[in-house]
A and B are shown apart, each in its own frame.
Chain A
């Protein structure tokens, strides 16, 4: 807008929206100047971070400590002060095993089955998730027809709630679901997917990949687009084969993104609960009962709500997640350092 022009509606709205911000800045100006005068310029970043740190502390750090404190107690009281101190008894109970490779030899067999099921799940889920995400990203990075449409199609499931995703697939896979109807129409017998441990695990992995692949594809696509095109042009001029271009250019330059994807997928895989809980209920038996569902069942669904044991299992899970997060941080740093 040049001087003399009449303000448009947009200008008026912008000015109106800026007004509260201006007032806020005017209010905060003096106290912030005072803080800077007292604490020096180096204090200011911490002051700006304070609201976020307070929020993080209140909703993450303090509950973490409360959870740890719960894991050292027993009984059914909800209030920490009313609970009985048991020391490391809950941990000893969880780790009391004749043979760690055989859950039936453990006192808390369901905890170990949860661990093994989670390990199986993340091994297959992460492997195929990364593989399919990479393939999809490579295809979507090419100049194909309706590329924008396909990018949206692959990303769409990410926008759905995990519960909605699980319910959709449950309706497809039930005895009288769409898939069985299709099998019958082709002359096959119905398959009771949720009665078979193998099929249940397969669908838990498949649905999880279907729901989350778009997100990881997007990360890899961004990585692919950041690779300088002149490298590919040079390779083309040299007559390098497609396979060699992928191995020598694409994969090494995409590796930092791949690492982030792998670690993020691992963390999400360990935390898996809602999709599978709705899809299979953890069954058949405990075939798809993962560690988070074990914690939920122990803490909430039994008549005797064993918060101490559930908290101890949460701490174990927290340690695993901490290790994975450190791996992700290391991978990110390596990428940032080139």
Chain B
């Protein structure tokens, strides 16, 4: 009996040590990821191919809510407990945690040639290669074209202003008893493009952040008025506090919204959730006195400097950034490419939905018209300080806790105080 037990224990110990040996030979990389649509599935497929080609490396895709990318990831990174790779949207704000991949990628020149302008977003003060854009985005509105047709209201054309669109959306909503004529994502980033169209400069002559000026006041006042007259529903902007992000994508998909200000990243989701239930139509950014611009932006896949496996991270990032892999990724996810070569040669998007194709075309053609102020703001590492001050204080004004003038004063104070804290 004892002899048998000894044999079992001995063989188990041997098996365990063999397994441990195998485990030790394997490198596990963790990639923190969020999804707007199907990109997680597409990325997993590409990662599977990488693992097949590199059996000693496994990549775990940790899919988290977008809120966790904004709120939890920075704390993890500050504590030195972050992932090896992450998909982020606060491109410059987290740059202190990025790894320079230059020594770890096969051909740094390929990276500079194809991702050049966006590398600066990731490293505003240097020329490091930290990652690549999983998507370029442009903010802009969608409309429910079917509702316009049913209401017999003509859609405003090229060069229409925000006031034109607000009035038309209200007319449609009133005619068809739609609860929300116009909805905007509760996000400072979304407001900034229209504010720049109204003439907001965002920075002073020395390049220091100067959030509140006449242009911003003009746009903020319109938003405030639209909430008071029922063009926009208070449910979105007025129902939460602080800088909490809320989107109206579900309301739009349920045909509860006539016009929805969001951005190009919604295309794959709308193609899937709305499909041909109604004609959802992307329209060019409405105009103000200064411009007709949206905000550029996007998400990037970046390598983190606290990784224990820089070589393997470099190997993986190099694999993912190759043209054929990115062509597949952008094509399957319906994302605007952040790879200059692919942007030039064109990506074959995996959709036969005319609405998605039209939206992709609309947003892609909006890129040349984006205001330089919008590019500067997107490249500013502390832009979220400005976005958050704008959204939280405007929200408080909309629900009546502050007057608009008090809200403008508080916006400036918030930005000043937070930047002072940051510079300590």
Residues of A within 8 A of B (CB): 74-78, 84, 86, 104, 107, 109-110, 113, 175, 192, 194-195, 197, 280-289, 293, 297, 300-306, 308-309
Asked if residues A74 and B235 are in contact (CB atoms below 8 Å), the reply is: no
Q: Which residues of B contact A75 (CB under 8 A)?
A: 421-422, 424
Which stretch in B212-220, B239-247, B305-313, B318-326 binds the other chain? B239-247
Q: Which of A286, A305, A308 contacts B241 (CB 8 A)?
A: A286
Complex CA gap A286/B240 in Å reads 8
Contacts of B244 in A (CB 8 A): 281-283, 301
Offer 25 A-B interface pairs, CB within 8 angstroms, sorted by A.
Answer: A75-B424, A76-B421, A78-B78, A78-B79, A104-B402, A107-B413, A280-B240, A281-B240, A281-B241, A283-B238, A284-B238, A285-B400, A286-B242, A286-B396, A288-B241, A293-B241, A301-B70, A302-B243, A303-B385, A304-B382, A304-B385, A304-B418, A304-B419, A305-B78, A306-B418
Chain B residue contacts of A309, Cβ below 8 A: 421
Q: Please tell me if the beta carbons of B421 and A281 are within 8 angstroms of each other in the complex.
A: no
B399 proximal to A (CB < 8 A)? yes
Interchain residue pairs A-B with the least CB separation, the first 5 = A282-B241, A281-B240, A303-B384, A285-B399, A75-B424
Q: Are A195 and B396 in contact (CB under 8 A)?
A: no
A195 touches B234 (CB 8 A): yes
Cβ distance B72 to chain A, nearest Cβ, rounded Å: 8
Closest CB in chain A relative to B66 CB, distance in Å: 13
Q: Which residues of B contact A78 (CB under 8 A)?
A: 75, 78-79
Known contacts A195-B235, A286-B241; is-contact A303 B71 (Cβ 8 Å): no
B239 adjacent to A195 (CB under 8 Å): yes
Q: Write out, one digit per residue, whether chain B residues 373-386 have a CB within 8 A of any chain A CB (1) or not (0).
A: 00000000010110
Residue of chain A at shortest CB distance from B78: A78
Most buried by A among B93, B239, B382, B419: B239
Beta-carbon nearest neighbor of B387 in chain A? A303
Which of B70, B71, B241, B406 sits near A285, CB closer than 8 Å?
B241
List of A residues within 8 angstroms of B75 by Cβ: 78, 300, 305
Are A303 and B93 in contact, with the CB atoms below 8 A? yes
Is the Cβ of A303 less than 8 Å from the Cβ of B382?
A: yes
For the complex, what is the distance from the CA of A75 to the CA of B242, rounded to whole Å?
Answer: 21
B388 is an interface residue with CB less than 8 A from chain A: yes
B234-273 to A contact mask, C-beta < 8 Å, 1/0:
1100111111100000000000000000000000000000
Chain A interface, DSSP helix/strand/loop, else mixed: loop
- Name the A residues within 8 Å of B51 (CB-CB): none
In the complex, whether B74 has a CB less than 8 A from a CB of chain A is yes
How far is B382's CA from A78's CA once the two chains are assembled, in angstroms? 18
Give CA–CA (A289, B399) in the complex, Å. 14
Closest Cβ–Cβ distance, residue B5 to chain A (whole Å):
17
Q: Is there an interface contact between A283 and B422, defined as CB atoms closer than 8 Å?
A: no
Q: Mark B89-108, 1 if CB is under 8 A from A, else 0.
A: 01001000000000000000
Neighbouring B residues of A195 by C-beta, 8 Å: 234-235, 238-239, 399
Q: Which residues of B contact A288 (CB under 8 A)?
A: 241
Which residues in B have their C-beta under 8 angstroms from that of A194? 235, 239
Q: State A220–B285 Cα separation when bound (angstroms).
A: 62
Is there an interface contact between B239 and A283, defined as CB atoms closer than 8 Å? Answer: yes
User: B79, B399, B424: which contacts A284 (Cβ < 8 A)?
Assistant: B399
Q: Are A192 and B234 in contact (CB under 8 A)?
A: yes
Contact of B422 among A76, A175, A286, A289 (CB under 8 A): A76
Q: How far does the Cβ of B304 sit from chain A's closest Cβ, in whole Å? A: 15
Assess whether B298 is interfacial by the CB under 8 Å rule.
Answer: no
A280 to B382 alpha-carbon distance, docked (Å):
28
Residues of A with C-beta under 8 A to B398: 285
B412–chain A nearest beta-carbon distance, Å? 13
14 additional A-B pairs beyond A192-B233, A192-B235, A286-B242, beta carbons within 8 Å, are A74-B424, A75-B422, A76-B422, A77-B78, A175-B235, A195-B399, A285-B398, A285-B400, A285-B401, A289-B241, A303-B74, A303-B90, A303-B93, A304-B382
Chain B, residue nearest A297 (CB): B242
Q: Say whether A304 contacts B239, CB under 8 Å.
A: no
Whether A302 touches B179, Cβ cut-off 8 Å, given contacts A75-B424, A76-B422, A281-B240, is no
Q: Which of B238, B240, B413, B418 contacts A302 (CB 8 A)?
A: B418
Given A74-B424, A283-B241, A283-B399, decide whether A302 and B388 contact each other with a Cβ distance below 8 A.
yes
CA distance A197 to B239 in the complex (A): 9
Question: Which residue from B71, B79, B402 sits with its C-beta under 8 Å from A301?
Answer: B71
The CA-CA distance from A289 to B239 in the complex, in Å, is: 11
Which chain A residue has the least Cβ–Cβ distance from B96? Answer: A76
A284/B385 in contact, CB under 8 A? no
B78 to chain A, nearest CB (A): 4
Question: Are A285 and B395 in contact (CB-based, < 8 A)?
Answer: yes
Q: Is B358 an interface residue (CB 8 A)?
A: no
Give every chain B residue within 8 A of A289 (Cβ-Cβ): 241-242
